Amino acid sequence: MTLVDRVIAGTLPLVPKPIVRRVANRYIAGETTDEALQVVAGLNARGFRATLDILGEHIHSLDQSRRAIDGYLNVLEEIARRKVNSTISIKLTQLGLKLDAGACLEMARQLVRRASELNNFVRIDMEDSSCTTDTLRIYRQLRSDFSNVGVVVQAYLRRTMDDVSSLEDLKPNYRLCKGVYVEPRAISYRDMRVINRNYAMLLEKLLRNGSYVGIATHDELMVWEAMRIIRELGLPASAYEFQMLLGVEEELRDIIRAGGHNVRIYIPFGRDWYAYSVRRLRENPRLAGYVFKAIFK
Ligand code: FDA
């Protein structure tokens, strides 16, 4: 993370909200479910799958979590009603993980059950390392009743290889990403070369074990590694998919899709977009650098 990234991230909260909005427009699909579903329909028409994320995490009361659940239930109904191709991605802190883990499990269960009735799927995003153990535990608990739920693992965490080994019996549906939070070196790899090698090693292990993997990256080197592993293992396109964030590396995503691979776009939306964007930039100034580069490209 460079000093320039830090400076950009530090000054972004001073930028007038309408300007932040113009920049955020590229990465966030509006404030309402209707706006987000229009973006989904547009991407579907171009051959992409989607997953919807209602912005807002680290809530202060379970009432906020219940509102989030209502929002997600409505999204699930609308996906079914409009017959668009989209799953949902949830964050357990938004469902009260830090307030009451039992209540969080029950709310997650409610969503996964409704998704199952509607033939849909729920992905549990992975948050900072204070959530990892509880998130994987809740994932395991949900899997005892449902198969339409998946989880995310992060290649930058030193523990991830052990985590995926201990979940092997479930053959989880994974999303594999590098990891976006800033973590202490004691528990995470810092050197991008090591993160990349760990990413490729994890991906190969998960695919060999028969897991379906959402290969979430915009890094062409990781895409290349994934293609290499897929080819070596002789996997059909139904065994994996690529995943990218809305508005990021669109040219690469088109190239992957044109090569016959499935690609899912992660689509964040919601009224909380401003607080969310500023908080994420503060947490990880490297993101500010990406955004800055994207604006001036
Ligand atoms: P890398 O960081 O090397 O980026 C490669 C290039 O992609 C950059 O040079 C830049 O051009 C572009 N880029 C990457 N991220 C960008 C961004 N945010 N804005 C603009 N440009 C960007 N993390 C996590 O901890 N928990 C999670 O649940 C998820 N979920 C998730 C879902 C999906 C679909 C994706 C694609 C990513 C995540 N992530 C995540 C984030 C992930 O961990 C990681 O931080 C980013 O994807 C960046 O890593 P890359 O593999 O893209 O490589």
Please name the residue whose Cα sits nearest to atom 1 of ligand 1.
219
* Number of folded domains that form the chain: 2
Q: Label residue 9 by pLDDT band (50, 70, 90).
A: low
Ligand 1 center from residue 157 Cα (angstroms): 15
Same domain, 22 and 154: no
Pocket of ligand 1 (CB under 6 A): 125-126, 152, 154, 175, 177-181, 216-219, 222, 243-245, 248-249, 266, 287, 290-291, 294
User: Which tokens hold the place of 109?
Assistant: 């269960």
Ligand 1 atom index nearest CA of 177: 43
Rounded average pLDDT over 263-268: 97
Contacts 24+ apart (CB under 8 A), 139-147: 139/167, 139/172, 140/167, 140/170, 141/105, 142/105, 142/108, 142/109, 142/112, 143/170, 143/172, 145/109, 145/112, 145/113, 146/109, 146/112, 146/113, 146/116
99-132 confidence digits (pLDDT tens) = 999 999 999 999 999 999 999 999 999 999 999 9
pLDDT at residue 292 in the model: 66
169 and 113 fall within a common domain: yes
Regarding whether 91 and 21 lie in a shared domain, the answer is no
Pair (139, 235) in one structural domain: yes
In this structure, are 195 and 281 located in the same domain? no
- Residue 116 and residue 8 share a domain: no
Does residue 104 share a domain with residue 90?
A: yes
Active-site residue, 163 included = no
Q: What is the pLDDT of residues 20-34, one digit of tens each?
A: 777 778 889 999 999
Whose alpha carbon is nearest atom 14 of ligand 1?
Answer: 218
Same domain, yes or no: 2 and 78:
no
Cα 87 to the center of its chain, rounded Å: 11
Residue 214's domain comprises: 34-240+249-263
175 is catalytic: yes
Q: What is the mean pLDDT of residues 141-145?
A: 98
Least confident of 51-60, 172-181, 186-195: 51-60
Of ligand 1's atoms, which has the minimum distance to the CA of residue 179? 43
Residue 196 and residue 279 in one domain? no
Which pTM was predicted? 0.94
Q: Which residue has the higher pLDDT, 6 or 272?
A: 272
**Residues 257 and 284 both lie in one domain:** no
pLDDT exceeds 80 at position 88: yes
User: For the purposes of burial, counting CB atoms within 10 Å of the CB of 90, is it exposed (0-12), middle (13-18) or buried (19 or more)?
Assistant: buried
Contact 163, 136 (CB under 8 A): yes
Query: 58 vs 28, 68, 85, 269, CA distance in Å?
Result: 19, 12, 28, 16
The answer to whether residue 1 scores a pLDDT higher than 60 is: no
